[in-house]
Amino acid sequence: MATDSIGDTLHQLMHAYRRQLRRSIRDQGITLPVTHIRILKAIGSLKATTAREVARRIGTDKAQVTRALNELEAMAQISRQRDPEDRRSQILAITEDGRSTLDQILTAEAQAAGVMSDSLSDAELDGFREMASTMIRNTLKDTCDTETETPCPNRN
């Protein structure tokens, strides 16, 4: 495959996955905006996290995260408690309702991936994961945003 068509293929794959994921999320009855979903996933996967850490993790500004957190808290999806080590900060936690929503989101993601990988063998999927991981590593430097030196989210 020529190098100039890799971008087109990746772009089409990304959009196909997003369409399928939106469809799966809708089928699960989830009505949250994408930002809220990303924040809920971040809180669910991080222990004793703060708004600043969530903003860093998902690569967006803290003000946008704070607005979404207010809405998620009003919907009883998350709770906040004062950080005992830093009283200026709040620790975010997922509630029982939030855990249920997160489980639905994870189910929707698994369904979307299942639809897209339906006719692929285990060996082909392993090869795809390895290739995609290599491509991701090839693009990562010490920081994702060299202007602000924002660390890369989801980096191992």
- Considering the domain architecture, whether residues 35 and 53 belong to the same structural domain is answered as yes
**What are 51's two structure tokens?**
């708004």
Query: What is the domain extent for residue 56?
Result: 7-119
Q: What is the pLDDT along the chain (156 residues), one digit of tens a residue?
A: 455 688 899 999 999 999 999 999 999 999 999 999 999 999 999 888 999 999 999 999 999 999 999 999 999 999 999 988 888 889 999 999 999 999 999 999 999 999 999 999 999 999 999 999 998 888 886 445 544 445 555 544
Asked if residue 91 is part of any domain, the answer here is yes
Model confidence pLDDT, tens digit, residues 3-13: 568 889 999 99
The total domain count for the chain is 2
pTM: 0.78
d(CA 35, CA 37): 5
> In whole angstroms, how far apart are CA 137 and each of 35, 130, 146, 155, 156?
25, 11, 16, 9, 10
Per DSSP, the residues of 51-113 read HHHHHHHHTS-HHHHHHHHHHHHHTTSEEEEE-SS-TTSEEEEE-HHHHHHHHHHHHHHHHHH
Same-domain check for residues 84 and 125: no
Q: Does a structural domain hold residue 19?
A: yes
Domain match, 96 and 32 both: yes
Domain for residue 2, yes or no? no
Together in a domain, 28 and 73: yes
Indicate the length of the chain as a whole number: 156
